[in-house]
Structure 1
Amino acid sequence: PGSANDQGYVTSVCFSPTLDQWIGLALVERGRERIGEIVHAHDPLRGEDYDVELCNPVFYDPDGGRQRG
Structure 2
Amino acid sequence: MSDKNKVQEFFKLGEFGNYFTRVFQKPDPNKPTNFNLRMMHGINKISIIMFLIAIIVWTVKRFI
- TM-score (structure 1 length as normaliser): 0.27
Decide which structure has greater helix share.
2
Larger RCO (CA under 8 A, 6+ residues apart): 2
Q: Bigger radius of gyration, 1 or 2?
A: 2
- TM-score (structure 2 length as normaliser): 0.29
